[in-house]
Amino acid sequence: MEIIKDSDFKTEVEEAKVPVLLDFFATWCGPCRQLTPILEEISKEMADKIKIVKMDIDESPETPNAFGVRGIPTLILFKDGKAVDTKVGAMPKSAVEEWIKQHI
C-alpha cells in the first residue's frame, strides 16, 4: 500500500483502471495508525478488485482541501476517477470490507 502525494493524485486515483480507496491520514493521528494494518490486509486480500492508497494531509494538503476533508482518517472511495462515497473515522475490518463491496 503506497503513500501518494498531491502530484500523484491524477495518475494514481483519477486514471486508475480499478476502484481506488484513498485514506487521508496523518502520522500523529491515533485512529489513523489503528486503521493502517486493517487497510494493508484488505489491500492484499482484494488486490485484484481495488487499489488502496494513503495520503498524508500534512505533506499533501491540496487534495484533502479539494475534497473537504475536515477529520481524519477520512476514506474516500473512487470509481472511474470520481468520488462515490466517503467515511470518516476508524472502522473495524468487517465494516471497511462491507463498504468496499457495496461499491465494486
Q: Which residues are catalytic?
A: 29, 32
The rounded distance, in Å, linking the Cα atoms of 39 and 71 is 18
**Side-chain half-sphere of 85: how many Cα atoms within 13 Å?**
11
Q: What are phi and psi for residue 45, nearest 5 degrees?
A: -70, -30
CA dist 54 and 21 (Å) reads: 8
Phi, psi of 62 (to 5 degrees): -65, -50
